[in-house]
């Protein structure tokens, strides 16, 4: 880890970027709930997604509504460090999936330092961190998103595109960069066991991802029918209320339907 941190520092010899120097005041109070991404081949969590909450468990909207251009960088950085600190304090031994804001990353090498420092301070292995973002973020600055993904992959993190299928650039984004994971938007999997168009679309995405070496995660699974159809397609990573609801500052047990 020290070697990777040193490499990130060396690749940004000018020191902290402008974003790192701004927005030090007005920190937003936050905590996290955790929801498992279940591996059906084992019935155990593959990862836990960190879902932002207010300091007393308030909904995510109460926190995200406070984010603006002035504090976006500090918010994104604090999300990372807080999620890592909580995961380490709970003894998490699975992957930790953290959502990030591409528009809050000015220089990937400089902006990743606090992540490595938090991992080193808490003893959480950095190679068990997944960074995910929604595909719609790429519309703002596609080249910048690709540079972030490539840098994070070079540092040993897993990368994921969230809500795949909800934006406008999913397939072309895959042509330029192949993340470790894509997370199918829940609107694509809702009622899929009785919806032929959704079945065809998801089967096609799964086939493409298999060819590209990308694992597919199905989000928002609520019924046994959805689970069974997707499992039959070879999708074994799933997330949703069928398996476990998010738990505030805790790792919820996985329901035996996994």
Check residue 131 and report its DSSP letter: E
Q: For 61-116, write each residue's pLDDT tens digit.
A: 999 999 999 999 999 999 999 999 999 999 999 999 999 998 889 888 888 999 99
Side-chain half-sphere exposure of 200, counting CA atoms within 13 A? 2
Tokens of 41: 């081949």
Q: For 169-181, write each residue's pLDDT tens digit.
A: 678 888 999 999 9
Q: For 199-236, write each residue's pLDDT tens digit.
A: 999 999 999 999 999 999 999 999 999 999 999 999 99
Question: In this structure, are residues 199 and 218 in contact, taking their beta carbons and an 8 Å threshold?
Answer: no
pLDDT at 13: 42
Residue 176: CB partners within 8 Å, gap ≥ 6? Answer: 142, 146
Q: For 12-50, write each residue's pLDDT tens digit.
A: 444 455 555 444 445 899 999 999 999 999 999 999 999
pLDDT at 230: 97
Distance CA(242)–CA(246), nearest Å, equals 11
CA distances, 14 to each of 2, 38, 72, 106 (Å): 19, 42, 22, 13
């Amino acid at each position: 880890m020290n070697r990777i941190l040193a490499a990130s520092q060396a690749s940004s010899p000018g020191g902290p970027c402008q974003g790192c120097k701004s927005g030090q005041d007005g920190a937003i109070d936050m905590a996290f709930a955790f929801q498992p991404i279940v591996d059906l081949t084992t019935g155990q969590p593959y990862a836990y997604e960190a879902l932002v909450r207010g300091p007393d468990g308030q909904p995510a909207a109460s926190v995200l509504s406070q984010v603006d251009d002035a504090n976006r960088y500090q918010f994104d950085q604090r999300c990372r460090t807080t999620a890592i600190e909580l995961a380490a304090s709970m003894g998490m031994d699975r992957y930790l999936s953290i959502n990030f804001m591409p528009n809050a990353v000015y220089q990937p090498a400089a902006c990743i330092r606090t992540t490595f420092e938090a991992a080193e301070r808490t003893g959480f292995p950095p190679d068990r961190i997944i960074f995910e973002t929604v595909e719609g973020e790429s519309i703002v600055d596609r080249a910048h998103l690709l540079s972030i993904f490539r840098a994070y992959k070079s540092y040993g993190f897993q990368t994921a595109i969230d809500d795949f299928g909800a934006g406008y650039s999913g397939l072309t984004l895959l042509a330029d960069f192949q993340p470790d994971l894509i997370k199918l938007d829940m609107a694509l999997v809702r009622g899929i066991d009785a919806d032929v168009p959704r079945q065809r679309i998801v089967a096609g995405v799964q086939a493409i991802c298999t060819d590209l070496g990308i694992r597919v995660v199905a989000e928002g699974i609520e019924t046994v029918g959805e689970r069974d159809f997707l499992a039959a397609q070879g999708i074994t990573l799933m997330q949703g209320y069928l398996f476990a609801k998010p738990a505030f500052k805790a790792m919820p047990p996985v329901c035996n339907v996994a």
